[in-house]
Chains A and B, each alone.
Chain A
Amino acid sequence: EVQLVESGGGLVQPGGSLRLSCAASGFTFSSYSMNWVRQAPGKGLEWVSYIQNSITTKYYADSVKGRFTISRDNAKNSLYLQMNSLRDEDTAIYYCTRDGGYSYEHDHWGQGTLVTVSS
Chain B
Amino acid sequence: QSALTQPASVSGSPGQSITISCTGTSSDVGGYNFVSWYQQYPGKAPKLIIYEVSSRPSGVSNRFSGSKSGNTASLTISGLQAEDEADYYCNSYRSSSTLVFGGGTKLTVL
Contacts and interface: CB of A to CB of B under 8 A. Distances in A.
Contacts of A80: none
Contacts of B101: 37, 44-47
B45 A45 contact: no
Contacts of B100: 47
Given A103-B36, A104-B99, A107-B51, A47 B89 contact: no
Contacts of B32: 103
Interface residues of A, number: 25
Contact of A104 (B36, B38, B40, B57): B36
A102 B55 contact: yes
B93 A104 contact: yes
Interface in A46-88: 46-47, 50, 59-63
B98 interface: yes
Contact of B98 (A44, A59, A105, A108): A59
28 contacts: A35-B99, A44-B89, A45-B46, A45-B101, A47-B101, A59-B97, A61-B1, A61-B98, A95-B45, A100-B48, A102-B52, A102-B55, A103-B32, A103-B53, A103-B93, A104-B34, A104-B36, A104-B91, A105-B52, A106-B38, A106-B46, A106-B48, A107-B51, A107-B57, A109-B45, A109-B47, A110-B45, A111-B45
Interface of B: 1, 3, 32-36, 38, 40, 45-48, 51-53, 55, 57, 89, 91, 93, 97-104
